[in-house]
Amino acid sequence: MADRAQHRELNAWLIALGGLGLLSGVGVSWVASRAVVHPSKIPSLPVILLVGWSFIGSGLLSWRARPDNRLGPVMVLTGFTWFASVLEEGNNSVVATIGAEHCPRADTETALLLFEPRDAVNTGDVSGELTAEVETLA
């Protein structure tokens, strides 16, 4: 019974985050449409919304499917960070400051290091005790 209550609570949080993501996209599109400082730095409005909402939506679905996996929350955070990067180009000093502080760009070369558990099952070309058997449909 407690598991069911936790599932409902998680769903409520995910729905709230989804609504916040929709509102963020609308707010950012408003800021982007009124930016006059550097409008050439801002991608087109459909691209802004597509990228941000894709990350947020995919992250929410991943989070719901596997609540114990960190990929979902990271994808949601990436979507919100994408929206925040557009705020830097806004005309309002408070909004631009928020965008500058949360901008996902790096001035220098950036490296990404990925880790997975030692007992992660793989489906690659190498056979071993951690290789998953892939069933083929006949």
Mean pLDDT by 10 residues, the chain (138 residues): 79 89 84 63 78 91 88 90 74 54 62 68 65 59
The pTM (predicted TM-score) of the whole model is 0.60
Q: What is the pLDDT of residue 58?
A: 92
**Measured between alpha carbons, how far is 95 from 56 in angstroms, rounded to an integer?**
21
CB 124 within 8 A of CB 132: no
Q: Write down the domain spans for the chain.
A: 2-101
Helices (H) and strands (E) counted in the chain, each on its own, are 4, 0
List phi, psi (to 5°) of 122. -120, 165
